Structure 1
Amino acid sequence: MSENLQQAAQGRAASVVELAQELVRRPSRAGIDDYGPVLGVLEDWLTARCVPNRRLLDDAGHLVGLLAEIPGGRPGPWWSLDACVDTAPYGDRSAWSFPPASGDVVDDWLLGRGSADSKLAAAMFCHIAADLMPRAADLHGGLAVLLDVDEHTGGFGGARAYLADEAAARPAGVMIGYPGLDDLVIGGRGLWRASIALYAPSGHSGSSKTVVGAISRAAHLVRLLDAAELPGVDGASAFPLPPKLSVTSLHGGQGFSVTPDRCDLNVDVRTTPGFDAHDAENLIRKAVAELDAEMPAPQPTEISPVASWPPFRLTDGEEPAAALLGAAAEVGLTLRAKTAGPSNIGNLLAAEGIPATAGFGVPYEGLHGTDERAHLAELPQVYAVYHRAVLSLLRAG
């Protein structure tokens, strides 16, 4: 490329950090804070630079994101940059060594909740969009920047509203700005989740009559699930991770004197191409059938599926991963293509047939925990990689 994008990225870093500071200083904890103030900062910044943008609403009319769109002057596919600007909660504020909404820069670290996940990426992507505006007429397709404020809820309302928006061009691929300098996430395990309700006769805990309560039945089901055999890594699919089953929640009873008649638990199964959602559901139903046969109850155990996402993994050379890996090499970074254990928006996009990358950004500490912070020394390199990748995709047509 003729442009010295590395030098340009150096020049943009201070402005990116300044915008990110303003975002961190607007609390946007998922399900807790009003998202209007944090999105207002982004709206004002984009509008002042003539970058077209509009709010995204869900079916109930709730604010779930902001979408900036830059149409190119030539035909071609659209690509998307995606970063969330809602955050995890603060947790125990007294455990923090600085205010959770600090936004200060100390020793080259941006401090505060959302600095790493993912307000710095949001600020960076907005700058890339603004950089493209003067040359939009020469670009193929277009670039959309999705700023999601319904990500940490697990609802991914911004992404869903974007994909459902008839006025938005469907992206050929999405680059998600989660942090982490060493890896480019090109895949992830899927998931199948369910809530399970177990029943039993209620009774007095001090009664001379023995009653097998719902909690005892639930405990037996947990043992069955923990002992369930899952396959290992499937060499045929080239997917590098095995499936995993976890009981993540158990609730039942109150006080001490009553043996409860109901207990509820949640099950999370991480799926792979060789062990999919159908296999996960069959495994859970088999364990529940065994429980009901061994420990009968007045009412059968109920399984209520909650969510299901497919696993995904981009193939070698597939965009937009190839563009990011190539751009990283051009600025002297060596990235590992990684398949992640946790799920992310990439799974939602995979279900829509849209390839996605995630997990490339600046180094970080305290993600979702105490003293979240993002390291800024590497920001120019990360900026240059995304800028180069976007330009290569929009010039390819």
Structure 2
Amino acid sequence: MTLTDPAQTLAALIRCPSVTPEDGGALATLGEMLGELGFSNDPVTFSDEGTPDVGNLYSRLGTEGPHLMFAGHTDVVPAGDREAWTRDPFSADIVDGFMYGRGAVDMKGGIACFVSALARLIERRGAPQGSVSVLITGDEEGPSINGTEKLLAHAAAKGERWDAAVVGEPTNPNEMGDMIKIGRRGSLSGVLTVEGVQGHVAYPHLADNPLSGLVTLMDGLLDPPLDAGNDRFPPTNLEFTSVDTGNPAANVIPARTTATFNIRFNDIWTAESLAAELRARLARAAKDTRLRAGHEPVRYRVEFAPRSSPSFLTRDDALIETLSAAVREATGRTPALSTTGGTSDARFIKDYCPVVEFGLVGQTMHMVDERVALSDLESLTRIYETFLERWFDHRSAAGIR
């Protein structure tokens, strides 16, 4: 295998069936690649009650500062209906300029390009004047309990400190160079339960339909909008994702119903302030009996998930501009600086150092026939190589260690 060729490095990773929480040999394969480049590897497995054990890998090249981290994950989502794939999802077949395979885009492709970028840089001018670490989990697509968060703490406890980080998630909506993620919205989930009185639909005055109360509460949460967003973040949005009543009978008013929701919020809110706002809205809406004439206020309870994700924004101008310049040089495009999309492991990394995200085009991630253009692999490798060279040169010229 030639490590300077991202197609070869990616093929080796795709052929490891690392569906969360199984590793499938992916971390060992990556560790061998990094070992060839001079990295010291620290594989570690984490455990937690009620969750599967998960393997992770922390590798470092160099002993001095400045110190740049590349982070990502080798675990992938299940292939789904394998008969629906035109190519085996773990074959890394190349057809018409595209490599097929689960993880090709999300995100073994990003890891492969970073390895090849380092290999090219080392071959051309030697190792960077500083340190590069690679922090890889096998638990990003799963519960995210035995992965990046614990691996960061493990490395920090051993004395590791970082100046900046790049996460190789697929950030580009359509073409290479479209977008760099410089932050992420937060995420808060909850379950709303409404109590009613069961009865016959022909005698509604003897019952209290919890669905009518739920509709009132849902309206109270959705209107007015939580905010209008700001110059860095889109508006906060609340989405109801399920309504469950468990009532198979069409002629029975149910006794209870529940609704699950998730909110992606910007930096106007914290999880705590947002939960307080939602509770206040529910308390006001519960008094509205227009859909339930003759009844007392809606009886309800709301429970928020114990694990939430905060919003964050990276303000390291040198990191952002260095990566943006590398993107412009390789693609001719000026990337948008965005905070859109879901959560990523950058939410853990931001507590240790400034972090940005940039990777491949994400159009086929998690889909049947996930695939990546070989030309995109080459573009991303050039971007990473240029970024590495300029980031370390800038720090060296400024005397920052």
Q: TM-score, normalised by structure 2?
A: 0.81
Residues 47, 101 of structure 1: alpha-carbon distance in 2 compared, 3 angstrom cutoff: same
Candidates 235, 260, 269, aligned match of 1:266: 260
User: Paired residue for 1:345?
Assistant: 344
Amino acid at match of 1:250: V
User: Paired residue for 2:311?
Assistant: 311
Candidates 165, 169, 175, aligned match of 1:178: 169
Is structure 2 residue 54 aligned with structure 1 residue 63?
yes
Is structure 2 residue 280 aligned with structure 1 residue 286?
yes
Hey, what's the Cα distance between the residues in 1 that align with 2:219 and 2:299?
Answer: 21
| Preserved CA contact (<8 Å) 2:200 2:252 | yes
Residues 110, 50 of structure 1: alpha-carbon distance in 2 compared, 3 angstrom cutoff: same
User: Paired residue for 1:382?
Assistant: 380
Residues 208, 333 of structure 1: alpha-carbon distance in 2 compared, 3 angstrom cutoff: closer
Is structure 2 residue 228 aligned with structure 1 residue 223?
no
Q: What is the DSSP-based 3-state SS (H/G/I as helix, E as strand, rest coil) of the residue aligned with 1:273? A: coil
Hey, what's the Cα distance between the residues in 1 that align with 2:320 and 2:55?
Answer: 27
1:238-281 superposed Cα distances (whole Å, 9 cap, x missing partner) = 32422211112322314327654443322222222234434422
Amino acid at match of 2:213: R
| Preserved CA contact (<8 Å) 1:200 1:297 | no
CA RMSD of aligned residues (A): 3.1
Candidates 22, 29, 39, aligned match of 1:51: 39
Hey, what's the Cα distance between the residues in 2 that align with 1:118 and 1:171?
Answer: 22
User: Paired residue for 1:28?
Assistant: 18
Hey, what's the Cα distance between the residues in 2 that align with 1:173 and 1:186?
Answer: 12
| Preserved CA contact (<8 Å) 2:68 2:133 | yes
User: Paired residue for 2:322?
Assistant: 323
Return 264-273 or 93-102, whichever deviates more.
93-102
Amino acid at match of 2:391: L
Hey, what's the Cα distance between the residues in 1 that align with 2:47 and 2:9?
Answer: 30
| Preserved CA contact (<8 Å) 1:195 1:306 | no
| Preserved CA contact (<8 Å) 2:4 2:119 | no
User: Paired residue for 1:232?
Assistant: 228
Measured after TM superposition, the shift of residue 19 of structure 1 is 2.5
Hey, what's the Cα distance between the residues in 1 that align with 2:106 and 2:182?
Answer: 18
Q: What is the DSSP-based 3-state SS (H/G/I as helix, E as strand, rest coil) of the residue aligned with 1:113? A: coil
Residues 343, 332 of structure 1: alpha-carbon distance in 2 compared, 3 angstrom cutoff: closer
1:354-365 matched pairs, under 5 angstroms: 354-361=353-360, 363=361, 365=363
Measured after TM superposition, the shift of residue 94 of structure 1 is 4.2
Amino acid at match of 2:245: G
Measured after TM superposition, the shift of residue 220 of structure 1 is 3.1
Residues 47, 240 of structure 1: alpha-carbon distance in 2 compared, 3 angstrom cutoff: closer
Amino acid at match of 1:41: T
Hey, what's the Cα distance between the residues in 1 that align with 2:350 and 2:3?
Answer: 35
| Count of aligned pairs | 376
Hey, what's the Cα distance between the residues in 2 that align with 1:38 and 1:204?
Answer: 58
User: Paired residue for 1:7?
Assistant: none
User: Paired residue for 1:255?
Assistant: 248
Amino acid at match of 2:302: E
Return 159-168 or 306-315, whichever deviates more.
306-315
1:134-145 matched pairs, under 5 angstroms: 139-140=129-130, 142-145=131-134
| Preserved CA contact (<8 Å) 2:190 2:304 | yes
1:118-133 matched pairs, under 5 angstroms: 118-129=107-118
Is structure 2 residue 103 aligned with structure 1 residue 105?
no
User: Paired residue for 1:277?
Assistant: 271
Residues 86, 215 of structure 1: alpha-carbon distance in 2 compared, 3 angstrom cutoff: farther
Structure 1: state its 5+ residue gaps: 1-10
Hey, what's the Cα distance between the residues in 2 that align with 1:102 and 1:350?
Answer: 32
Hey, what's the Cα distance between the residues in 2 that align with 1:351 and 1:285?
Answer: 29
User: Paired residue for 1:336?
Assistant: 335
Residues 136, 377 of structure 1: alpha-carbon distance in 2 compared, 3 angstrom cutoff: closer
Residues 51, 130 of structure 1: alpha-carbon distance in 2 compared, 3 angstrom cutoff: farther
| Preserved CA contact (<8 Å) 1:177 1:359 | yes
| Preserved CA contact (<8 Å) 2:194 2:298 | no
Return 213-222 or 176-185, whichever deviates more.
213-222
Hey, what's the Cα distance between the residues in 2 that align with 1:346 and 1:336?
Answer: 21
User: Paired residue for 2:8?
Assistant: 18
Q: What is the DSSP-based 3-state SS (H/G/I as helix, E as strand, rest coil) of the residue aligned with 1:197? A: strand
Amino acid at match of 2:260: N
Hey, what's the Cα distance between the residues in 2 that align with 1:40 and 1:139?
Answer: 27
Candidates 52, 70, 78, aligned match of 1:81: 70
Hey, what's the Cα distance between the residues in 2 that align with 1:143 and 1:149?
Answer: 20
Q: What is the DSSP-based 3-state SS (H/G/I as helix, E as strand, rest coil) of the residue aligned with 2:25? A: helix
Q: What is the DSSP-based 3-state SS (H/G/I as helix, E as strand, rest coil) of the residue aligned with 1:379? A: helix
Residues 346, 50 of structure 1: alpha-carbon distance in 2 compared, 3 angstrom cutoff: closer
Amino acid at match of 2:366: H
Q: What is the DSSP-based 3-state SS (H/G/I as helix, E as strand, rest coil) of the residue aligned with 1:46? A: helix
1:190-232 superposed Cα distances (whole Å, 9 cap, x missing partner) = 2232233333334566777642344443333223323333321
Percent of matched pairs sharing the same residue: 22
Residues 187, 351 of structure 1: alpha-carbon distance in 2 compared, 3 angstrom cutoff: closer
Residues 313, 365 of structure 1: alpha-carbon distance in 2 compared, 3 angstrom cutoff: same
Q: TM-score, normalised by structure 1?
A: 0.82
